[in-house]
Each structure stands twice: as C-alpha cells, then as structure tokens.
Amino acid sequence: MNTQTSFPTSVEHNKKVVMEFYERMFIARDLNVADTLISENYIQHNNVFIPPLRTGFKKYFTQYFKTFPDTGATIKRICGEGEYVFLYADHWAANRLYRVQYKVIDIYRVQNGVLTEHWDTIEGIGFFSKLLYLLKSLLRL
C-alpha cells in the first residue's frame, strides 16, 4: 500500500483547510474560494437548499449573497477526526427588509486538501428566523 500522498492529510491540516474555507466564504464573502477548496464533485448531503456539485454550491451562494448583501459568521468550535472536520458557528444574514440568525454545525470531509463532502444541521435563532427556515424548507419540497 502506498501511504505517500502529495497533500498533507493530518487532522490539523484538514482543520486549517476548513477554517480557510469558512473564513473566506462566510466571513469575507469570497465565493472564489469554491474554485480552489471545493471538489468539482462535491457531495452536499443536506441538499434542501444547496444543489449538488461545486457548480450547485456556487449557484446557490451567488443568489444568497444577492438576497442578503450583509452576512457574517462567527466560528465557535472546530474539531476533527481523520478526514472529517466538525465546525460549529453562529451565522446571520440581513437585507433591507429583515435579518435572520442561525446556528450551524457543519461536517466536512477533506481529501487531498479540498472539501469533498458536506453535512449540516441548522437551527434558526428566534421566532422569525425559525419561521423563515421552515417556510423555505417547505417550499423546496
């Protein structure tokens, strides 16, 4: 078995990949990070909102950033095990009409220095955020 790879595969490296992705994507709103840190064949396991593949991710967040011109996130915790990185963060998004807040637990699988799979759970904070999330989920069905 060949154990040599061209990419570091340590848990610490994988956590750094996820941190860089999260900071650039959700804090700096740099959608170009998807081109370098998300696999073309990215698997979005919770596809209630986000379509599969890198192209689906970019399509969704292009519209998301238009809908919510003011967004942000605060990373609260990050840990990893092997190829998997678990991240807990608070998010918020606002436009002229309203602001929503939610807590997110993201799980990423990192292979060869890029995100290849993603799972999440999202909880709205406050009645309005919970109601909007529920309505959006129902409309997607």
At 139, the pLDDT band (50, 70, 90 cuts) reads: low
User: Of 7-11, 62-66, 119-123, 129-133, where does mean pLDDT reach its minimum?
Assistant: 129-133
Q: Which two tokens stand for residue 100?
A: 């929503």
pLDDT at 124: 80
pLDDT of residue 4: 45
Domains of the chain in sequence order: 11-140 (3.10.450.50)
Q: How far is CA 22 from CA 53, 86, 105, 111, in A?
A: 18, 12, 12, 16
Mean pLDDT of the chain: 88
Residue 32: CB partners within 8 Å, gap ≥ 6? none
Return the residue matching tokens 């956590």. 15
